[in-house]
Each structure stands twice: as structure tokens, then as C-alpha cells.
Amino acid sequence: RRRGRGRTKETGACRRYPEAVFELDFFRQNPEPFYELAKALWPGPHSKPTKAHKFVKLLSDKGQLVRCYTQNIDSLEVAAGVPADKVVAAHGNFDTASCVATGEKVDAAALREALFAGEMASFNERSGGLCKSDIVFFGEALPARFFNLLAPDFGEAELLLVVGTSLEVHPFASLIDLGRPTMPRALINRERVGEALATRLTAGGSGFNFTDAAVVPRDVFLPGDADATVERLVAAAGWELPGSV
């Protein structure tokens, strides 16, 4: 899911400005389209963790999770009960907010209140300039924590699970080629992706190879719905998803 945007309804801002809504230069010139979209994207009572999210919690509970790297911006991993320090939100989320002009943090709850009250102009004025949730826009760097944890996490990991993604957005897509060259990797997805991938974080990375011709046969494709697939995996392990009856 690209930056987690695909799971929200289309708004007028999306129709009029497409990807420009998430461009930093466009935001500086005209923040209103993003503010309109942010109200639809902001996680609320309608945002519920899926079985795939609960699977990540189960792995954490079992002491099997090194880290969960996510492109989604809805914080549903933490909502499912995954400890926040076990999650790296590579493209940010709504949990924190900053002033674009000063780089200083602002109160995310106060920003949300101003956003839904239509009072962002006065909030920005009080805060020293344009403010937004800490969602990574085009033109912004990914969080430092993302890069700082890559080497230790992938050095420790013994298995890589890749769930529900197009593997089109870099540098996130390049993560599949980190770690030991013999580390098993499983793709849980509706379609095969990440093959012959020109990665950017590694030298010589080539993505998945699900064929019998692989020099190191380490990649497995588990096709279908992610929730249904993790249910089968959990059952095969003799486990139970959190919240299951």
C-alpha cells in the first residue's frame, strides 16, 4: 500500500491535485488541499487493525519480532498492540506534528483540533509558520530512526516477511535486499512484486527470485489476501491471533 493512502476515500483534494498534495513545495504555496485530505486520512474510530496487524503483535508477544517497518501512516500497528519501539513508520504518521518553517515540534492533538475546527491559519500563526503532521512528503527526508536501525535490525533478523505492498516506493522497497544473502524471505501479497528490483540501499541487490533458477532458493510467494494468509500461518504454528474468540 503506497504510504497507506490507498485505504482512504477519494476526496476533492485528491481529484484536483493528485500527488501534488504530498509535495512539500506545493504545500508551502497552498496548504489547504492537504489540510482537506488530512481530515479524511486522520485515524479515528473507523480505523481498525486487521488480522495482519494482529499477526505482527503476535510475533512481538512471542519474542519473534525484531522490528516492523511500515509505509502506512495510520499507526494501526501500535493500535493493534505492537510496542511503539518495535515499529518504524518510514513515511511518518499522525502521532506527531511539526512546523515546516522552524522544524520545531508542535502539539499533534492541538493541531488536530484546529484542523477539524477550520482554524489552521491561526494555529500556524501561533506556531511560527505552516504546520502539518509528521507525514513524509515528497521533498522531505525519511526519519533518521529509519536509517539508524537498518543495519542492526537486518543484521539480527533471521527471516523477512513482506506483507501487502507494491514495492514501488524507494528507498523503502530496497529493504528486501538488506540482511544476510541467505536469509529466507516470504512475500504475502495478492500479486508477485519486487522481482528484478533495482534497489537503492544495497550494491548488487536484485529483489526477489521465486524461480527454481535462484542461486540461493530462499524466496517464497504466498499469494492471496494477507489476513487469510496469516490466519493459515498462525493455525499451522498452533498459535492464536490476539483478540480471537
**124 Cβ contact partners less than 8 Å away, ≥ 6 residues apart:** 99, 130, 131
The C-alpha cell at 157 is: 533478523
Closest Cα partner for 131 from 30, 31, 11? 31
> Of 8-12, 47-51, 167-171, 175-179, which gets the smallest average pLDDT?
8-12
The pLDDT value given to residue 16: 60
Residue with cell 504546520: 131
CA distances from 107 to 24, 92, 98, 112, 121 (A): 20, 16, 8, 9, 15
Say which residues have a Cβ less than 8 Å from residue 178's Cβ, sequence separation at least 6: 150, 154, 201, 202
Rounded CA-CA distance 149/140 in Å is 19
- Please tell me the total number of residues recorded for the chain in this structure: 245
pLDDT at residue 8 tops 60? no
pLDDT at 1 over 50: no
Which pLDDT belongs to residue 244?
62
For residue range 178-228, what is the model confidence (pLDDT) as tens digits?
Answer: 999 999 999 999 999 999 766 555 555 679 999 988 888 999 999 999 999
For the beta sheet containing 131-135, the strands, ordered from the edge strand earlier in sequence to the opposite edge, are 105-106, 92-99, 131-135
Cα(36)–Cα(93) distance, rounded to whole angstroms?
16
For residue 204, the tally of other CB atoms under 10 A from its CB is 7
Whole-angstrom Cα distance, residue 189 to residue 177? Answer: 18
Per-residue pLDDT at 15: 55
CA–chain centroid gap for 51, Å, is: 16
pTM for the complete prediction? 0.86
Over range 22-32, report the average pLDDT: 94
**Which range has the worst mean pLDDT, 121-130, 181-190, 218-227, 236-245?**
236-245
Average pLDDT over the chain reads 89
Burial of 231 by CB count in 10 Å (0-12 exposed, 13-18 middle, 19+ buried)? middle
Residues carrying an active site annotation: 91
Check residues 229 and 6 and name the one with the higher pLDDT: 229
pLDDT at residue 5 in the model: 36
Q: Which three cell numbers stand for residue 39?
A: 481530515
**Distances in whole angstroms, Cα of residue 72 to Cα of each of 9, 75, 100:** 15, 7, 21
For the stretch 134-150, pLDDT in tens is 999 987 889 999 999 99
Which of 101-105, 202-206, 228-232 shows the lowest per-residue confidence on average (mean pLDDT)?
Answer: 202-206
